[in-house]
Amino acid sequence: MTPATQLLKKHKATFELLSYEHNSSTQSFGLEAVEKLNLAAEQVFKTLVFETNELQLVVAITPVSQQVNLKLLAKACGVKKVHMAAAQKVENSTGYILGGVSPLGQKKRVATYLHSSAKQFDIIYVSAGKRGLEIALDPNTLIKLCNGKLADF
C-alpha cells in the first residue's frame, strides 16, 4: 500500500495496480513502465513538480512521450515562469522519491494540471508512489481526487 492506493481505496475509486521489476540503472522511469508493461506511451503519464517564479509548487501530469512546454504551463498556472523544482523540494512536498512520484496521496496539496490529451483515453497510467508500480485509472477519477485541471502544456 502507498498513500496513492490508500486514497483510491478510501474514495472507493475503480483502479488497477500493475507492477514490474524496476531496474535501478534506468534513467527514464516512465518509459521503463511503458516497455516493461507493454503500454502505449501516450497513455502513461509522468508526474513532474515545478516551481513558479512566486516560489509555489505545481504538479504537471503529462504523457511520458512528451516534454512540458514551460511557457504554456506557466500560462495555465497564471504565472510568468516555471522551472523544475529541486529534488529535495519534490520529495518533501510529495512524500515520494523521484521516479515514484504519484499525483495521488501527496503530503501537501498543490495546484495540479493534467495534460488535456488524457481526455482521449478511458484509462491512463500514473505512478502508484513507488518505482515499479503503476495505477490504471479513468482520467476523470484522477482529476477529481487531485482537484486537478486539464491544460495544454
**d(Cα 153, Cα 130) in Å, to the nearest integer?**
25
Mean pLDDT over 20-35 rounds to 88
**Domain-by-domain residue ranges, the chain?**
3-151
What does the pLDDT read at residue 24?
A: 85
Condensed to tens digits (0 to 9), the pLDDT of residues 86-145 reads 999 999 999 999 999 999 999 999 999 999 999 999 999 999 999 999 999 999 999 999
Tell me the CATH number of domain 3-151, given options 3.30.1360.120, 3.40.50.1860, 3.90.960.10, 3.40.50.300.
3.90.960.10
Q: Biggest alpha carbon distance in the chain?
A: 40
Residue 116's SS3 state is: helix
Say if CB 50 and CB 89 are below 8 A apart: no
The enclosing H or E element of 146 equals helix 139-146
Quote the pLDDT of residue 102.
98
Q: Using an 8 Å Cβ cutoff, are 100 and 131 in contact?
A: yes
Q: At 17, phi and psi to the nearest 5?
A: -105, 130
* Euclidean distance between CA atoms 88 and 66, whole angstroms: 24
Q: Tell me how far the alpha carbon of residue 41 is from its chain's centroid.
A: 14
pLDDT at position 34: 93
What is this structure's pTM?
Answer: 0.94
